[in-house]
Amino acid sequence: MSVHSESIDIQVADESIAGTLVSPASQVPGVLFVHGWGGSQQRDLARARGIAGLGCVCLTFDLRGHERDIGAQGRVTREHNLSDILAAYDRLVAHPAVDSDCIAVIGSSYGGYLTTLLSAQRKVRWMALRVPALYWDEQWHLPKRQLDKARLAQYRQQPWRPQDNLALAACADFHGDVLLVESEHDDFVPHATLMSYRAAFDKAHSLTHRILAGADHGLSDDRHQQAYTRILIDWVSEMVVGSRVGNYPHQLVRYS
């Protein structure tokens, strides 16, 4: 992140000496958290507080069809929830302390899938995707609960290219920094899906891929929740703090 330099005079008795006051830019990065299907903002809150401590403004929220709006879940479509994320993004960027050029979006599962689509419509510098799900483009207006689960499971086992899928096409157009987090024993988002995402990010500024050994899709074991939190906060620290001091990744890096 840029800094502000100001030339000043410092009074010493009856004379003055020249100085330069260097301070951080007045605005800070913004971080948007997007939970998965059936989840809520609750698990994101602790991570948001940790990342806020790095000097960021964080926003967590509940997608329509979740928490206090659970009664609407049967009629909520992917279009509805993408509109939710766009509205949340715009609310975050409108915060006077947020630098609109320094926005990170952290999405899990269904939220990770929608995060990629958000990046095609809004400016995103950093994208963290934990077990990002993948859906076919058709039936966009069909309530999500009505999508064929057996077909989805089969769809995610196949390799897909950016020209096959709008979410992967958004990944192929993304030039920022990416974190992919995979669960070793994921019954919903298999390794093949992560490989489709990973291959699509061929223009990313940097790409970090981590696999949580022994973890399931929902990180039901507290040890895996803690491991993911460490990975996420370490990565955000590297990206956000590194951008402020100029120690920033300059090449595409792929590692697990």
The CATH number of the domain holding residue 61 is 3.40.50.1820
17 is a domain residue: no
4 is a domain residue: no
96 is a domain residue: yes
Residue 136 pLDDT: 98
pLDDT surpassing 70 at residue 104: yes
pLDDT surpassing 70 at residue 7: yes
62 is a domain residue: yes
Report the range out of 8-22, 27-41, 55-69, 188-202 with the highest average pLDDT: 188-202
Question: Can you read off the two tokens belonging to residue 126?
Answer: 């950093």
Q: Which pTM value belongs to this model? A: 0.87
DSSP string, 127-162: EEEES-----SS-TTSBGGGS-HHHHHHHHTS---G
* CB environment 118-149: b (16+ within 10 A), e (fewer): bbeebebbbbbbbbbbbbbeeeeeebbeeeee
Indicate the SS3 state at residue 29: strand
208 is a domain residue: yes
Q: In this predicted model, what pLDDT tens digit does every residue of 25-75 receive, in sequence order?
A: 678 899 999 999 888 788 898 899 999 988 899 999 888 888 888 888 899
Distance CA 157, CA 188 (A): 10
Cβ-count burial of 150 within 10 angstroms (0-12 exposed, 13-18 middle, 19+ buried)? exposed
Residue 250 pLDDT: 47
152 is a domain residue: yes
Provide the residue range defining the domain that includes 102. Answer: 26-245
pLDDT surpassing 90 at residue 235: yes
Report the DSSP pairing between strands 98-108 and 28-34.
parallel
By the 8 A CB rule, do 244 and 26 touch? no
Of 42 and 76, the structure prediction assigns the larger pLDDT to 76
Q: Which helix (DSSP H) or strand (DSSP E) does residue 171 occupy?
A: helix 166-172
Say how far residue 8 (Cα) sits from the centre of its chain.
40
Count: domains in the chain: 1
11 is a domain residue: no
Report the range out of 4-13, 42-51, 218-227 with the highest average pLDDT: 218-227
Distance CA 38, CA 53 (A): 28
Task: Please give the average per-residue pLDDT across 153-179, as a whole number.
Answer: 98
210 is a domain residue: yes
Mean pLDDT for all residues in the chain: 90
Residue 132 pLDDT: 98
